Amino acid sequence: MKMNVPFFDLKPQSLSLKEEIQSAIDEVFETQQFILGAQVEAIEKAIAQYCQTTYAIGVASGSDALFLSLMALGIGPGDEVILPPFTFFATAGSVSRIEAIPVFVDIDPQTYNIDPLKIVEKITERTKAILPVHLFGQCADMDPILQIAKRRNLFIIEDAAQALGSEYKPSFDSKGRKAGQMGDLGCFSFYPTKNLGAFGDAGMVVANDSLLAEKVRLLRAHGSRPKYYHKWIGINSRLDTMQAAILLVKFKYLEKWTEARQRHARKYEKLFQDLPSLVGELRLPVIQYGNRHIFNQYVIRVPKRDQLRKFLAEEGIGTDIYYPLPLHLQECFSFLKHRQGDFPISEKAADETLALPIFPELTEDQQEMVVDRIRAFYKK
């Protein structure tokens, strides 16, 4: 029997929490503290504790978290920041917004995260920071990146927008380190489809350094303290109190939802057991080392990706592509003078990867339908 399977469905989760969320919104309404109310400080404390950092600063979006982090570190015109080209636009866009120069480094073909072995050759006297992305919910290989940064006196900003709760565990007997706590600053997004999603845009910066944290806190509010006295030229990027209240409600369920995503990933792996022999080059997500992968996305690699996606859409199954065109080939970055072939692993990933449904409320029947239709496509 044909069954529609959305790529992502926010309704079940939102409806299950409707009364709790309405109560939280009503509380904000009663206080009338719509800007930097008590709920903002509460979610900051909760996220700092969860990420095992000393500080957390709520901001308006994950994009602003990156932008403010760059500002706080004093990175500016002409400075170079190393990052992967296979990521969401905001990673490089934030660097360009501050008039610094994005310097791309290709990715690892299995994890899709920046390849540490290729970083050193891109460092120049103008390099100020490395901006690794913890893509799809798995931490980048941070130890070699941290070692490079220490030797070369570089800052590290973790783009952990998709990785709240992920852990980097380079050996199975080592203690995991949370995404966001390893660099100078860590950046998170609470876009609605994230593991912890708001009812709009929202973000967070985490830090262990008190001076950096204080600078981000001031920069998010026009660089002002006390009111009308401006130490720095900042921006208006405060986490909205209403969003903070909603996030506080949803935060209680974050681990439960993450475990559901991990359970779905294991189910997919089991369902896909016979597919490699049928498809030939089908690749499932690879968990590096003993990492904790939170599966913000479940991304496979397949031949005839675009034809498969069209077929699945006709069968009522939603998918998405993260990301169809690497950043070095985007028109807005043409000033960097990159060409097709400059970063072949990223380009190949852009041509072959496909994200399947993995939201917490996904059912086993829906997963079986997804894999059954993929199997049917390749049998043809």
Both ends of the chain: CA-CA distance in Å? Answer: 19
Give the pLDDT of residue 40.
Answer: 98
DSSP at 240: B
Q: Would you say residue 251 has pLDDT above 90?
A: yes
Token pair in block for residue 148: 């490079």
Output the DSSP codes for 245-307. HHHHHHHTTHHHHHHHHHHHHHHHHHHTTTHHHHHSS-B-----TT-B---SSEEEE-TTHHH
Q: Is 143 exposed, middle or buried (0-12, 13-18, 19+ CB in 10 A)?
A: middle
- Report if pTM > 0.95: yes
Instruction: Select 254-379's CATH number: 3.40.190.10, 3.30.530.20, 3.40.50.10490, 3.90.1150.10.
Output: 3.90.1150.10
Q: Could you give the CA distance from residue 51 to residue 68 in angstroms, rounded to a whole number?
A: 19
Q: In angstroms, how far is CA 380 from the centroid of its own chain?
A: 36
Q: What is the mean pLDDT of residues 263-274?
A: 94
Contacts of 354 (CB under 8 A, 6+ apart): 299, 300, 301, 302, 305, 308, 309, 319, 320, 321
> Each residue of 136-162: pLDDT tens digit?
999 999 999 999 999 999 999 999 999
Residue 220 pLDDT level (bands cut at 50, 70, 90): very high
Q: Per residue in 162-187, pLDDT tens?
A: 999 999 999 877 789 999 999 999 99
Range(s) within the chain of domains with CATH label 3.90.1150.10: 254-379
Give the tens place of pLDDT for each residue, 307-336: 999 999 999 999 999 999 999 999 999 999
Handedness of CA 90, 96, 99, 105 (dihedral sign): positive
- Residues near 345 by Cβ (< 8 Å), separated by ≥ 6? 86, 106, 107, 108, 109, 115
Phi and psi angles of residue 286, each rounded to the nearest 5 degrees, phi first: -110, 125
In whole numbers, what is the pLDDT of the chain averaged over residues?
96
CA gap 144, 21 in Å, rounded: 42
The answer to whether 365 and 4 have CB atoms below 8 angstroms apart is no
Residue 1 in this model has a pLDDT that exceeds 90: no
- How far is 62 from 58, CA to CA, in rounded Å? 10
- Locate CATH 3.40.640.10 in the chain: 11-251
For 11-251, CATH number out of 3.40.640.10, 3.40.50.11310, 3.40.50.2300, 2.40.10.10 equals 3.40.640.10
Q: Which residue has the higher pLDDT, 194 or 173?
A: 194
Distances (CA, A) of 112 to 122, 266, 363: 19, 19, 27
pLDDT confidence tier of residue 118, bands split at 50, 70 and 90: very high
